[in-house]
Structure 1
Amino acid sequence: MATRESGRLKDGSSKRILDEAARRRRARKALEALEQDNFHDDPHANLVMSKKAPKFDESLDGSRNKDRKRRTRSTEYFKQRFRKNFPILLEEEQSLYPDGPNYLTVQSPASKLPERKLCAVCGFPAPYTCIPCGSRYCCTKCLSTHEDTRCLKYTA
């Protein structure tokens, strides 16, 4: 009768284990990639609607209601139309409060509590650590997701 072995232990010898400096480099690269993918200015913000576009009647009988109320724009419209990216917000805050505390100058003392260890996949408390890359995970389902999509896959 053959004994059952763990597939993880068998593959463990072929996986690369990173030291702390390599893990920090990998985390920095991941953050830089996220910043690259982050919000950019709307490419369609400067488009102007054509005046030649057809106007359709809104009523079913074909007659226009001349005394209808003017449509007001919601706050969501202006939030989308005039949204600002993070560097612009930082620059505005710096110009508004050059002497006072702002995002770049605020300081707080170090926490007296230990650092929270959260799952890299779902965000729940994570008691386990991935051996090759050092990321945290909370269960085997998150471990398999991590190995399939995140663990040393997209970095050199």
Structure 2
Amino acid sequence: MTRSYFSKLSIEGNCSLVFITKKQSKGTKRKTRQAKALEAKKAPRTFLELVHEANLDSLPPYVPSYLKAAVGPPSSTSCRHFCTVCGSAATYTCVRCGVRFCSGRCQNIHNDTRCLKFVA
């Protein structure tokens, strides 16, 4: 018997009886099957429900929140383009499929594994 499973072995007098008590957990509560089933039944909440539960209207006016955020006018500059392989700024595009990449190394990776223009 190992000590990790049992906390105490006690022998009473001359008797050959051995009383074994299991080690008690330190305040951790095991989940029952019913608790696990109830947890699994909880329906996912939508974003609007979460915003409503946050009660953002009760915040002071100087505190920024999702409802008070303002969107500026659309930008006249073009949007940024990212490399599909590594995620850095992309300056080149694939001739076959039009996907963007940043370097020759990323182009080779794209051509070997990701270029799907002519795949049936």
- The alignment's TM-score, normalised by the length of structure 1, stands at 0.38
Tell me which protein shows more helix as a share of its residues: 1
Tell me which protein shows more strand as a share of its residues: 2
Q: Which structure exhibits the higher relative contact order, with contacts defined as CA atoms closer than 8 Å and separated by 6 or more residues?
A: 1
- The alignment's TM-score, normalised by the length of structure 2, stands at 0.47
Larger CA Rg, structure 1 vs 2? 2
